[in-house]
Structures are given as C-alpha cells and as structure tokens.
Amino acid sequence: MGVLHRQGWCGATGLAVPLLSLASPAFLKIAGVAPSWAVLWLLPWALVDGPGSGAVAGAALGLVLDALHSGDASQVPVLVLLGWWWGRIGRRGAPIERSFSLGLLALLGALALGLSLMLQLFWQGALPLPLAGWHTLVAQSLVTALLAPLVCSLLLLRWRQVVGWRG
C-alpha cells in the first residue's frame, strides 16, 4: 500500500466525490449528464498510491456512492478493478504525465463504469430498451474525459508532492 491513505486530508478529498455527485453543478454537464466524479478522483489516487490502495479506495468510494443511490446496480466491482488497473499502470508503466493520457484513461474508466451499470440493469430486466442508457454513457464518458486533464492533473501533482515522487 502507498502513503496517501496515511494522510488524513488526502483521504478526506474522497468526500468531495459524493458531494459533487449530489450537487451536480449544471455548468459541468453535457446534455444534462454530469461527469463521473468517482473516476476523476480514483484515477490520480491509484496512479500515485498503487494497485492495493487503488482497489481499496475504489471499494470504499463505490460503497458510499451505492448508498446514496437507490437501485440494484453497484459501482463497487468496476471501481475496484479500475483502481487496481490504474495502480498497476502507475507502478509498472512509464509515469503518466500527459493530459491526453489522463483523458484517455478517464474515458475508458467512465465507459467501463457506465457499461457495467447498464449491463447490470439489463441483466436484471430493469432496462428493456437501453437507448437512454447509451445517451448517458456517451455523454458521461465525454464530459469525464474533457474534465480529466484539469481535475486529475491537479490531484496528481499535489499527491505526487505529498509522497515525494521524483519523476
């Protein structure tokens, strides 16, 4: 495990995710769909703190977000897998520094999260015609990818300073 979880204020930034999900600022929406704040927070956390911490943070974040929304679909499995995958990229790959890379990883994460929720609802029979689901999936993935270079870069830079990263 990394060191970010030992810094109380770093973990407390995760509380902004449910607050932003509930507040849902209108100026950050595309076609009425807000970004995936969980993806925007989890991506830099996992890149800096590693796969173990990324998976645990994904599970905790998913449980909090699932508690806020009444429904049968869960975000926990995908957020755990994304946290683990992004943590492995952060540990084993070249350092992620480019805005395009952050946007692409956030786009893939938002697509995975949205597809997982759609498949869970479809499997349960709650979503017979997923036309509205496709609209939400595309809009959320796009706005998440567009915000990732700004949001993820700021968090990534700050958290790398905290852990003393030398790149």
Domain regions of the chain by residue span: 4-163
Between 162 and 11, name the one with better pLDDT: 162
Q: Is 80 exceeded by the pLDDT of residue 110?
A: yes
Q: What is the 3-state secondary structure (H, E, C) of the chain?
A: CCCHHHCHHHHHHHHHHHHHHHHCCHHHCECCECCCHHHHHHHHHHHHHCHHHHHHHHHHHHHHHHHHCCCCCCCHHHHHHHHHHHHHHHHHCCCCCCHHHHHHHHHHHHHHHHHHHHHHHHHCCCCCCCHHHHHHHHHHHHHHHHHHHHHHHHHHHHHHHHHCCCC
- Average pLDDT taken over every residue of the chain: 86
User: Is the pLDDT assigned to residue 132 strictly greater than 80?
Assistant: no
Share of the chain above pLDDT 70, in %: 89
Q: Which tens digits make up the pLDDT trace of 54-81?
A: 999 999 999 999 999 877 889 999 999 9
Q: Could you please state the CATH topology (level 3) that the domain comprising 4-163 is classified under.
A: Arp2/3 complex 21 kDa subunit ARPC3 (1.10.1760)
What is the predicted pLDDT for the residue at 126?
A: 66
